[in-house]
Amino acid sequence: MNNSDDKTRFNTVARPNWCPGCGNFGIQSAVKKALLELDLEPHQVVMTSGIGCSSKIPHWLNVYGLHALHGRSLPVAAGIKLANHELVVIAEGGDGDGFSEGLNHFVQACRRNIDLTYIVHNNGVFSLTTGQASATGEKGFVSSSTPEGAIETALNPVALAIAAGATFVARGFSGNIDQLNDLVVAAVRHRGFAFIDVMQICVTYNPARGYKWYKERVYDVQEGSHDPADRNKALISAVEFDEDRLATGIFYQGDQNPYEESLPQLGTDPLVNQDIEGIDVRSLMAELV
């Protein structure tokens, strides 16, 4: 059997230990389906993550994986892509990981446009550390760190990504695997930084926002007259965030050369393939001392 006929090639022997009903299962399933649809082999894909329930995902996907530090999935992913730009690089993690600890990396990645896919499992809460409200937890959210209800305004990652210069910005829902699969396929095919904010159900620490709550509110922007090439309108749609109508789909997709294509050092071959045996840096070092 040709390996690409093996539809189980991204499965692992180990099974996820997420809570039954956790939205991370839906995201994992959508990513697997997308990698099959893209006809990729496990050795062509690298997944990095930070720390959190969501960030355990590389353990349960048969690709190269690096479970990095909290908030650091993006710089690790960027380093991997620059070392070998022939790899498909996907960074994943939670909202606490990406929008609190790692927020600066997120903004820099948006404007830098390295050819990566970044998928955030956004459940509005720090789940692994037992349920503190995160930067995307809604105002009034009662959690272990906000017993009287959160008093801060929630961060809007989709609007932030568009404003920061990201060239592919989408929002998905962990309960709509088919749509999420399409979004991941489009994100991986996109040339440049592709961000998908996934509204993820956490049945344990954010049970009020369960499957039914989202199902009554989500809709697909692509079903209307939305034009993802119009950045200004995409930003307006993203800023007009309405808790009672949650837009999903591709908000914005632009066309701009990825960062690595502007680096002459990477023009011929990936860095990992380049012969560095004959390079002598001693004269350069002497100039610096």
In 3-state terms, what secondary structure has residue 206?
A: coil
Candidates 30-38, 87-95, 186-194, 203-211: pick the segment binding Mg ion (CB under 5 A).
87-95
Residue 204 is a binding residue for ligand SF4 (CB under 6 A): yes
Task: Give the one residue of 45, 87, 110, 202 binding ligand SF4; rule: CB under 6 A.
Answer: 202
Least separation in angstroms between CB 40 and ligand SF4: 26
Nearer to Mg ion, 85 or 171 (CB): 171
Alpha-carbon 155 to chain mean position: 16
Tell me which residue of 108, 109, 110, 144 sits closest to 125, measured CA to CA: 144
Nearer to ligand SF4, 31 or 53 (CB): 53
Nearer to ligand SF4, 143 or 167 (CB): 143
Least separation in angstroms between CB 68 and ligand TPP: 11
Contact residues for 89 (Cβ-Cβ < 8 A; gap 6+): 45, 46, 47, 48, 77, 80, 81, 115, 116, 117
Nearer to ligand TPP, 126 or 252 (CB): 126
185: amino acid identity, one letter: V
Cα distance between residue 83 and residue 77, in whole Å: 10
Least separation in angstroms between CB 145 and ligand TPP: 11
Which does residue 228 bind out of Mg ion, ligand SF4, ligand TPP, none, counting CB within 5 to 8 angstroms by kind?
none
Element (H, E) at 48: strand 45-49
Contact of 170 with 186, CB cutoff 8 Å? yes
Least separation in angstroms between CB 24 and ligand SF4: 5
**The token pair that represents 22 in the structure block:** 């956790």
Nearer to ligand TPP, 61 or 266 (CB): 61
Nearer to ligand SF4, 24 or 113 (CB): 24
Tell me which residue of 190, 240, 250 sits closest to 220, measured CA to CA: 250
Which does residue 182 bind out of Mg ion, ligand SF4, ligand TPP, none, counting CB within 5 to 8 angstroms by kind?
none
Residue 123 is a binding residue for Mg ion (CB under 5 A): yes
Which does residue 165 bind out of Mg ion, ligand TPP, ligand SF4, none, counting CB within 5 to 8 angstroms by kind?
none
Q: Which of residues 47-76 bind ligand SF4 (CB under 6 A)?
A: 53
252: amino acid identity, one letter: Y
Using alpha carbons, list the distances in angstroms from residue 217 to 50, 93, 211, 241, 282: 29, 24, 10, 12, 63
Which does residue 18 bind out of ligand SF4, Mg ion, ligand TPP, none, counting CB within 5 to 8 angstroms by kind?
ligand SF4
Least separation in angstroms between CB 94 and ligand SF4: 8
Among the residues of the chain, which ranges form H helices?
Answer: 24-37, 73-83, 95-96, 103-112, 157-163, 177-189, 211-215, 231-239, 282-288
Tell me which residue of 256, 285, 206, 208 sits closest to 19, measured CA to CA: 206
The residues of the shown chain that bind ligand SF4, judged by CB under 6 A, are 18-19, 22, 24, 53, 123, 127, 202-205
The residues of the shown chain that bind Mg ion, judged by CB under 5 A, are 94-96, 123
